[in-house]
């Protein structure tokens, strides 16, 4: 396994940030829906839902780590399917970002290894604190 942080480039920060914010909003919605519809009153929103969603994120980070090592899960990895369909055509319109001095790289423009690394980091950024909060809330 290569050193993980040798994969990281400065251009990937925006992709990691966007994935983290998107996953955090989905996690918040899942926790609130759990509290509203599945909770029986024994656990607060910080105990069961936060622990479960954090564990799911940690599992997702582990799968991304395995993808970096070359392991493929057939029903989860759609890289082969998307390559069979052909490459997406880039959008023809120009945006303000096209004229900025800063190079902006979207998630779709990254290599598969960089995509797995971004996914792993965003899952770790959310999974570790959520699992820790869930465990601490359960103990206290």
Residue 94 covered by a domain: no
Residues 120, 114: Cα–Cα separation, whole Å: 10
How many domains is the chain partitioned into structurally?
Answer: 1
Residue 114 covered by a domain: yes
Residue 42 covered by a domain: yes
Tell me the residue range of the domain where 64 lies.
Answer: 8-71+104-139
Residue 120 covered by a domain: yes
Contact 50, 70 (CB under 8 A): no
Residue 135 covered by a domain: yes
**Phi/psi-derived region of residue 47, left when phi > 0, alpha when psi is between -120 and 50, beta in every other case:** alpha
Residue 85 covered by a domain: no
Compute CA distances 115 → 9, 19, 76, 106, 107, whole Å: 12, 10, 14, 10, 7
Residue 82 covered by a domain: no
Cα dihedral sign for 106, 4, 69, 61? negative
The length of the chain in residues reads: 140
Contact 110, 64 (CB under 8 A): no
pLDDT of residue 139: 87
Residues 3, 93: Cα–Cα separation, whole Å: 38
pLDDT of residue 81: 46
Q: Six-digit token pair at 124?
A: 């770790």
Place of tokens 């950024």: 125
pLDDT of residue 91: 53
pLDDT of residue 125: 96
Spell out the per-residue pLDDT of the chain, length 140, in tens.
Answer: 557 778 888 888 889 999 999 999 999 999 999 888 888 878 788 888 999 999 999 999 999 998 888 887 777 666 554 554 445 555 556 666 555 566 677 788 888 888 889 999 999 999 999 999 999 998 88
Residue 48 covered by a domain: yes
């Amino acid at each position: 396994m290569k050193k993980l942080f040798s994969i990281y480039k400065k251009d990937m920060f925006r992709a990691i940030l966007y994935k983290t914010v998107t996953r955090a909003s989905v996690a918040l919605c899942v926790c609130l829906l759990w509290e509203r519809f599945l909770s029986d009153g024994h656990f607060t929103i910080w105990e069961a839902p936060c622990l479960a969603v954090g564990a799911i994120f940690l599992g997702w980070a582990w799968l991304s780590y395995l993808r970096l090592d070359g392991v493929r899960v057939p029903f989860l990895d759609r890289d082969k399917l998307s390559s069979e369909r052909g490459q997406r055509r880039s959008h023809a319109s120009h945006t303000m970002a096209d004229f900025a001095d800063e190079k902006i790289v979207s998630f779709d423009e990254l290599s598969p290894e960089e995509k797995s690394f971004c996914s792993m980091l965003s899952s770790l950024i959310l999974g570790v604190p959520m699992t820790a909060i869930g465990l601490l809330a359960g103990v206290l």
